[in-house]
Each structure stands twice: as C-alpha cells, then as structure tokens.
Amino acid sequence: MNQCGSPPRTYYLWTIGCQMNEADSRRLADGLIALGYGPAPRAEQADLVVLNTCVVRQSAEDKVIGRLSSLKGLKRRRPDLLLAVMGCFVGDIPRLQQQYPYVDLFAAPSDVDAVLALASQPTSRSCNQPTTQLPGSPVAAYVPISTGCDHRCTYCIVRLRRGPQRSRPIDEIVAEARALVDRGAREITLLGQNVDAYGRDLPGQPTLADVLQAVHQIEGLWRIRFLTSHPADMSEELIEAVASLPKVCEHIELPVQSGDDEILRRMGRRYNVAQYRDLVTRIRAAIPHTALATDVIVGFCGESEAQFQNTYRLLEELRFDMVHVAAYSLRPGTPAARWPDDVPAAEKERRRQAVDDLQQRVAGEINARLLGQRVEVLVEDLHKGKWRGRTRTNKLVFFADDADWRGKLALVEITWTGPWSMLGQVRGEAEVTDS
C-alpha cells in the first residue's frame, strides 16, 4: 500500500525484436518504477500494458497482431487498463487508431517519454508515490547512442519507421552509461541502427571513436561493445580505436547481407563484395583474434541460385564467428516491395538452412580452437544451475560452481566446445582492466 491507501500501480512490458527495443524497454521500466509502478507477472494483473514491437519480418508482425488481438478482450473487461504500443509496428498512427481503437496510445519507436506521460495520468483506481529506488541493472546493458538511419536499404522497414538518424550528445551517453555502471553493469553495448555513422547529425560531428574514448573513462566499466556497423561507414579511426582501447572488445557485427554484387546493388547497400572483403582484411590485421559476426538475407527478390552461391562461397571464405541468416520477407512500403518476391518460400528455406549448416560447421571449428585454453568470462547470470557469461569475443560459456559469480570476471578453462556455446571449469578470477 502507498500513502493513499491504494495498491501501487503495476506494468507489464512485452518486448520483441532488436537490442534497441530491449534498451528502450529497460529505460521505460526504469521510468515507470521512478513513477511508482511495480512490475506485474502477467498482462491480466497489470494496470498498464506496453507492447514494444518489431516488424522487421512478417513473422514478427504476426506476433504483434496476435498479441494485440488477445488484449482486446482484456481491455473490454477492464476499460481502466492502459494499453500502449511502441516500437516499429507504429507507422501510420491514424490508420492504427482506426484498426485498434481500444489501444490508448501508439508511440513512435523509442518514444519512451510518450508512454511515461500516459503512465503519469491519475486514475480513479490508485495513487502512486514516486520512488527513486531503481532496481539493479543487468551485468551487460545496452545504451542507445543514435536512432534512425540515413541509408536507403531497399528491403528495410526499420528506417521508414525510425526516420532519419538522430544522435545523442556524448555527455548524455556517458551519463546513462555511468548510471548503469553505478547500478552494477560491467559491460555496455552502444547501440545504433548504423552505429558507425554516429554524430554526423550533431554539431562538430563527433564520431563513434570519440564516444568509445569517453565511455572508456568510466571507472567500474570493464567492457564496451557497439552494434550494428555498416561496411560503408566503418572508418580507419574506428578500427584504430577498437585496436587501442583495452575495454573495447574484439567483437564486430558487420552485416554483409549478400555476397553478390548485383544483389548488393539492388539492396542499396553502397558497397561491393571486394570492398567488404578488403574491410574484413583490414579489421583482422589491426585487431588480432577479433570475432566477426554478420547478417545475411537469402532469397531476396530475383536472387538466382548462382547469386546465392556467391553468398555461400563468401561465407565459406571469410569464416565468420556468427552468421544471423534470415529468409527475405517482403515489407510493405519499402522500395523492394515493388519488385516480385519471386523466390519460392521452400527455396528460401533451403538456402537459409544451407547457410545455417555451413555456419554450424565453421563456428564449431573456430570454437574448437579454444578447447583447453583459459578465457576471460564476464558472468551475467545463473541459467539452469550453471553460470552463464561471455568471452570478450562474445562466445557463450557455461560453468558450474558453488560461489556467486554474477557480475564477476571468471577465468575459465574450456573443456567442451560446440558451435553456439562452450563449457568450462572455473580456475579463478580474471584480472580486471579498468584503466
């Protein structure tokens, strides 16, 4: 009970999609808790339900629509329930309001403040006391440094929903990262739809390398990552910053999307295969043992078997640590939606599976090299009785131990490796780099 004698209001937050949505949801949860809300385990028990949505593929959009439909009955039974939708599902707001009249608020992607304004409205049911008691933060936390994107990739719905790039000033980013570290975070991932283009829209045009330098100075922060990069925007200055700043992890997410020049041109990616290959060579020369991850879309409009084979061969040649592969999904409103989506679904799935099988082999071989070695693992949580954490190169490692390792750096000897994770035995605490 609060001072008004009524129970505190509660929120239920449903999040799907990318790390940007996860970061927005964390900021929203912090804001709601500061307003006096508490988390509810289920939508049925909450006073405020927020759906933080994704439409990057049709399957994600279908989930959102399913969730919205299931909440219609709840809202009818409990008209006082506040229902808000944010994230990339929110495009044409008047149309959405017509289609889903029972939703109280459609907020633009990342517009956390609009949801907080809705949550601040007094209701007849309760009266909340603001609190500054924020809960601990995850060991590995996200900080958005820019939203939106100025590229024009022809398949991409995200830039249509999130608009042009807007970067946050460096001092604001540092303040948020420092607050997370004060609450227990030891690793910060800096997020942007195109993180490499950070700052081009700000006075003086600061760069991502400048952000890395500034965040690097936060005491108590041990690791820094950033994503997602764009091959046409990754500068030498950035590669040098990753190579020279000890807290910045040897881990780069660099989507290639296709290994065929004609497909890349039609995707509007602004680089060709030779340029991408050259960039990978320069990164690997400057940052030894770096882990590279990539994204690939198979079955893009008009992709022939030969063009798919070009992608397959490039992946075989460059041997990524991780490949996120997706079958092309037509997104209405994008330039590519005007072209025939002519690769049959079964053929898209065959190509997706072929890439998955290849990557399983490649990642298995790369990880097997760590067998018997000692690696530094930042432990994030306990999962099914084992401690779970990541190496600097973003490899998932599990180990069993009775001590409390959450938020600590463990030195782990690897005893088993697979393509997606590893097992090990803890050998002690690793030395912390905090300079």
The nearest distance, CB 8 to ligand SF4, in angstroms, is 38
Residue 154: other Cβ atoms inside 10 A: 17
Q: Residue 33, Cα to own-chain centre: how many angstroms? A: 23
Contacting residue, 149, 264, 292, 379, with ligand SF4 by CB under 6 A: 149
Place of tokens 């009524």: 6
Q: Which of 21, 147, 194, 367 binds ligand SF4 (CB under 6 A)?
A: 194
Report CA-CA distances (Å) from 6 to 17, 43, 79, 111.
35, 20, 19, 29
- Measure CA of the first residue to CA of the last residue in the chain; give whole Å: 45
Among 60, 153, 370, 412, binds ligand SF4 (CB under 6 A): 153
Q: Of the listed pieces 135-143, 148-156, 298-306, 379-387, which binds ligand SF4 according to CB under 6 A?
A: 148-156
| Residue 161 touches ligand SF4, criterion: CB under 6 A | no
Q: Which region, judged by CB under 6 A, interacts with ligand SF4, from 85-93, 152-160, 338-346, 357-365?
A: 152-160
Question: How many angstroms separate the CA atoms of 264 and 267, rounded?
Answer: 5
Using CB under 6 A, pick the residue from 223, 230, 388, 392 that binds ligand SF4: 230
What phi and psi, each to the nearest 5 degrees, are found at residue 292? -115, 130
Rounded to 10°, the helix 273-286/236-244 angle is: 30
Q: Is the dihedral of CA 236, 238, 240, 242 positive or negative?
A: negative
Residue 194's closest CA among 150, 131, 141, 247?
A: 150
Is 119 near ligand SF4 (CB under 6 A)?
no
Comparing CB distances to ligand SF4, the nearer of 334 and 359 is 334
319 dihedral zone (left: phi>0; alpha: psi -120 to 50; beta): left
Decide if residue 331 touches ligand SF4 (CB under 6 A). no
Stretch that binds ligand SF4, among 56-64, 154-162, 281-289, 420-428 (CB under 6 A): 154-162
Instruction: Supply the minimum distance, in Å, between the C-beta of residue 162 and ligand SF4.
Output: 8
Query: Where does this chain touch ligand SF4 (CB under 6 A) — which range of 2-10, 27-35, 75-83, 147-155?
Result: 147-155
Structure tokens at 432: 């912390």
C-alpha span between 395 and 154 (Å, rounded): 32
Nearer to ligand SF4, 226 or 405 (CB): 226
- Cβ-based nearer residue to ligand SF4, 263 or 414: 263
Contact in structure between 254 and 293 (CB atoms under 8 Å): yes
Interstrand relation of 10-15 and 38-39 (parallel, antiparallel or unpaired): parallel
Stretch that binds ligand SF4, among 2-10, 31-39, 145-153, 219-227 (CB under 6 A): 145-153
Which residues are CB-neighbours of 265 under 8 A, at least 6 positions away? 272
Shortest Cβ 242–ligand SF4 spacing (Å): 20
Residues 411/376, Cβ–Cβ less than 8 Å: yes
Beta carbon of residue 379, minimum distance to ligand SF4 (angstroms, whole number): 32
Measured from the CB of residue 17, what is the shortest distance to ligand SF4 in angstroms? 13
Total residues belonging to the chain: 435
For 248, the token pair is 């910045």
- Residue 116 contacts ligand SF4 per CB under 6 A: no
Instruction: List the one residue from 57, 78, 151, 183 that touches ligand SF4 (CB under 6 A).
Output: 151
Q: Counting contacts by CB under 6 A, is residue 159 touching ligand SF4?
A: yes
Q: Counting contacts by CB under 6 A, is residue 158 touching ligand SF4?
A: yes
Regarding 193 and contact with ligand SF4 (CB under 6 A), the answer is yes
What's the min distance (Å) between Cβ of 407 and ligand SF4? 32
Shortest Cβ distance from residue 55 to ligand SF4 (Å)?
12
Binding site for ligand SF4 (CB under 6 A): 149, 151, 153, 156, 158-159, 193-194, 230
